[in-house]
Structure 1
């Protein structure tokens, strides 16, 4: 059997390939397209032709945004009458998109780029933002229809439209939470019967009170959850593809909805989830929080649409942090897929190069970010690496920890280009050292990093690793350290425990991530006090009206354990830390870090930590010596 062979693109003149998907012979989505079967390829379902065009003045075309799927599961299609293997996922998409009458012109990465030519791939990837921005429309293929997908798409179309029509979220008095609280406390206050019906409908359809623990497959909430957790929403390339498209249409099976309707529906889901979380703190019987947290988690789609609508570009560090859980088939694409809309990619000297190994791409990217004083890239470092040979100070972007970083980068949309700021505003290394921390790669090794740092203390006790089913044990371990807390921990030992448990921060409020207020701290202290928390669970806190506090606790405690140092600091650090590790402040970093002694005077970076009493530069006021540490 002969197979399709690419004709090389003319180099240096912005040429791209387009495919022309041929109409099907019979009006049936499961039949072959117009190309006649050949002895080499009997009964193939998809046929297309391919052409070379100038990107400067291309003909009208659509760009496809989709999930590659399992690359080991392939099937042939016809390209120019010759068989060509594509993933099963792409073949299914092309079957659904096959036109009835005239050819459909498309740009599809798997077909329009020679994936076996690393030089061409590097050149074409650098053009992808132009390719998507010049397309007539971006077709977003979410996948074939499933049991509940039509119901989810219809809900998005209907309630996205109604949300837009009623102006939900456009004014303070039209915020969803305000409207729902008003309807619950005084339904007669809402004079608009249509709006009242709308609020009643979404309350019934989305509320976890109307879902069941056995995963009621007929519920709207479950249908939406299944749609918004499809693999598509975790693929890193789709962010760029949607960010640059002039127009975006979302397709699932035979259903189509606009980006605008997806946007309004996602706002409803996100804000309703927040409303239920607030209610759970007031009335724990009103919500099954396990169902609510899983059913209405739409963070990935929200982040994708937020980046698209903000119209960037953005600092690379913001994109890496915001999209840290997204995946790519090629591990190098965890970086390369972000570069076209990273404000500082050129200044950092990071550009796509498929002739480099994943290890070298990750190493050079991290080195460039640290050189630009983005020390928060170290938040993603951990002991586990899937890619061999990475030093401990370089994140493995293929296996990012589910542990949430202690700080988040908030977007400042008022600046151009968009800037970001770390929140909450910790400053462990002190103001006068924040932006002038020299670094160099060690002369003894191409992968060792020399950084100025201050030794604070040794870890003498380490508590239980967070486990939602052992909630009370984790808290009691932390509380057991209170009698040995250093006097540096101002405000009382027990209050230091309450602050440490949530890394001294509150639930995000819009783009803000505030430190734990004195008012909230006093409330927590009054309600918990000397209460025995050994058998405590989530409902213990909810029943006391501490919904926000317990949700922040669960966020920050995941993947972490309490610890105590030789100087009486309490804190929470990475689950991989152990007694005998050391607490250091790396100059330029806003948070402290745990390191482990290695051979030849080197240390291994274990991860960032919260250490109460030194998060605002207090340790630097003690004139502790600053030495160069060699991190391997």
Structure 2
């Protein structure tokens, strides 16, 4: 009786499903039906067997100083057949420490929508449903688009994929911490990293065309091109129809996609054995993108994309320099350069992360600093950001032969994380800060004196140095002058110094200070005078400039806008400097053992301690000129 009843029930269900399939044969599947007819996916069905403490941990609970990392991960495979019209996949767990490493590809993408246009059109992102192990699993729209494109391409039916949003249980803090700690292993062991820039738009093909035309040129020819010179015969002869407003806008928007600003993509791309770049159904060559990015970083300024045809672009999202930054990080990794973690943090200050912790965690795998000697750097999202940033600053000081990290603590204007010591950089601030010269190795303000540093009483830093000068007048920031084209205060400061010190050429010192005395070829000091170029760019000249003069002015503008978060100032002894915009009248300029650039300090009232304001360029004192006959003393930074 039970068998008959059960068969009748199954028969009725089969008839209903058959009728439903007939009705849906020529229509889009009913998503509501699909989501409600399947159970919700549960990570408990595919455990990772993670061990969070050693067998010798205290009986009362796990020892937080003992870290035992396993390398078990989940892998995803797209299946060739859909279930009721839904994209279908299978997920399983594997051990990366096993004798034979499983073959898989890893996806690098952004969780959020990928373009400004998409964000404006859809403020509230909706999740999509896929079928995973015969259960329903919601995924964000951008990932859904990626999986759908890979399904369409068909090459992953017999290959496993690793994708963080699916392969990590994001609601399990312990699992997430552990998986983040082995992220570098996951991407370096993948056979290929698939970079998903997002769905294609109407301009994506034009961006591809311009990249192809530019990358076909020799370097000498490429660097004669003026971006956005649409009517320039020389441009047209080299680029043909690709030298159009639409093509340049398409290129700007392609590099403006969110993937180019995401912190986690750095190690995901750099550790890749092989890379495939997808934007919808368009495929891009990474090496060509890097070459074009390098060209744009040297031939464009922060003002390049301000023409009227680009008014609808959020210029904060224009990240055309980022591919060449990533290439520089990769070179550091390949050559095993010193202080990779600090240089990466500096290069990637403008990169975004959903959590402030990830502005550090996303780079640790590159520097191989996941050591048992530094358990404080093991990913722990329950730890405060203040402690993490302080710990990583201490770690950098410990492994460094210099104090370069201090030059990137930029003062009150760039501190959003409460409670940080003044000498600790706030990596959550997404601004291009400092002199914008990675490493500052072209400067040597403290000469060959050995580095001196001691951390006392928790977070106080003891240094050795001497007070050089006092800031007595400050001008506008470079960003303000670039925006308003009004530099009257600067010119007054320059003329004031010329009257006080008539034997010194302050016109020369003025334009050199604004460029940190470095030209695009990284030559220090700048050999070819650019005084007239500044006047032409700022429209201060009383004559009609030649075409050569205009070209020099454009080159000056590109160098000037490379570092905008700086303020021009003068000192009591008649020096010109350009340092962090946080500086104020009365701040002190110090030469400190181990720092390649002078540091701006602010004395704490009624205390024998100082606050660090930031690093600075001080004209005439960048190569050890101030060291003779000086008496050094210990000072404490808080």
How high is the TM-score relative to the length of structure 2? 0.74
Q: Which residue of 1 aligns with 2:291?
A: 267
Number of residue pairs aligned between Structure 1 and Structure 2:
544
Deviation at 1:246, TM superposition (A): 2.3
Contact 1:538 1:550 in 2 (8 A): no
Q: Which residue of 1 aligns with 2:517?
A: 504
**SS in structure 1 opposite 2:628?**
helix
Relative distance call for 1:272 and 1:140 in structure 2 (3 A) is closer
Contact 2:407 2:597 in 1 (8 A): no
Q: Where does the alignment leave 5 or more consecutive residues of structure 1 unmatched?
A: 25-33, 37-42, 182-195, 212-218, 410-421
Q: Which residue of 2 aligns with 1:597?
A: 603
**SS in structure 2 opposite 1:93?**
helix
Structure number with bigger Rg: 2
- Quote the Cα distance in structure 1 between the aligned partners of 2:487 and 2:282: 47
**SS in structure 2 opposite 1:62?**
strand
Question: Which of these residues, 552, 555, 558, is aligned with residue 548 of structure 1?
Answer: 555
**SS in structure 2 opposite 1:504?**
coil
- Quote the Cα distance in structure 2 between the aligned partners of 1:543 and 1:254: 41
Q: Where does the alignment leave 5 or more consecutive residues of structure 2 unmatched?
A: 1-38, 51-68, 114-122, 227-232
1:109 has 2:164 as partner: yes
Question: Which of these residues, 26, 35, 39, is aligned with residue 83 of structure 2?
Answer: 35
- After alignment, is 62-71 or 570-579 more displaced? 62-71
**SS in structure 2 opposite 1:617?**
coil
1:50 has 2:87 as partner: no
- Residues 263-293 of structure 1, C-alpha deviations (whole Å, 9 max, x = no match): 225424643775688xx9xxx9xx9799799
- Quote the Cα distance in structure 1 between the aligned partners of 2:548 and 2:307: 14
Q: Which residue of 2 aligns with 1:30?
A: none
1:332 has 2:362 as partner: no
Question: Which of these residues, 625, 629, 632, is aligned with residue 626 of structure 1?
Answer: 632
Contact 1:98 1:104 in 2 (8 A): no
**SS in structure 1 opposite 2:462?**
strand
How high is the TM-score relative to the length of structure 1? 0.75
1:514 has 2:523 as partner: yes
- Residues 83-122 of structure 1, C-alpha deviations (whole Å, 9 max, x = no match): 4443332233223333587465211112212223333333
Deviation at 1:369, TM superposition (A): 1.5
Q: Which residue of 2 aligns with 1:439?
A: 454
- Quote the Cα distance in structure 1 between the aligned partners of 2:200 and 2:534: 49
Deviation at 1:528, TM superposition (A): 6.1
Contact 2:601 2:612 in 1 (8 A): yes
- Quote the Cα distance in structure 1 between the aligned partners of 2:547 and 2:619: 25
- Quote the Cα distance in structure 1 between the aligned partners of 2:240 and 2:500: 47
1:479 has 2:475 as partner: no
Deviation at 1:321, TM superposition (A): 2.1
Relative distance call for 1:225 and 1:80 in structure 2 (3 A) is same
- Quote the Cα distance in structure 1 between the aligned partners of 2:102 and 2:470: 66
1:133-532 alignment runs, 5 A limit: 133-156=188-211, 158-159=212-213, 163=216, 168-169=217-218, 175-177=220-222, 200-202=237-239, 205-206=242-243, 210-211=244-245, 219-257=246-284, 261-268=285-292, 270-271=294-295, 274=298, 298-308=320-330, 312=334, 313-314=336-337, 315-342=340-367, 346=371, 349=374, 351-354=377-380, 355-371=382-398, 372-382=400-410, 383=412, 384-405=414-435, 407-409=437-439, 422-423=440-441, 425-431=442-448, 433=449, 435-441=450-456, 443=457, 446-466=458-478, 467=480, 468=482, 469-473=484-488, 475-483=490-498, 492-507=505-520, 509=521, 513-517=522-526, 519-521=527-529, 524=531
- Residues 471-512 of structure 1, C-alpha deviations (whole Å, 9 max, x = no match): 43254144134236669xx853333223222222222x2xxx
Contact 2:290 2:327 in 1 (8 A): no
- After alignment, is 91-100 or 46-55 more displaced? 91-100
Q: Which residue of 2 aligns with 1:82?
A: 135
Relative distance call for 1:525 and 1:52 in structure 2 (3 A) is closer
- Quote the Cα distance in structure 2 between the aligned partners of 1:575 and 1:85: 46
Relative distance call for 1:291 and 1:244 in structure 2 (3 A) is same
**SS in structure 2 opposite 1:50?**
strand
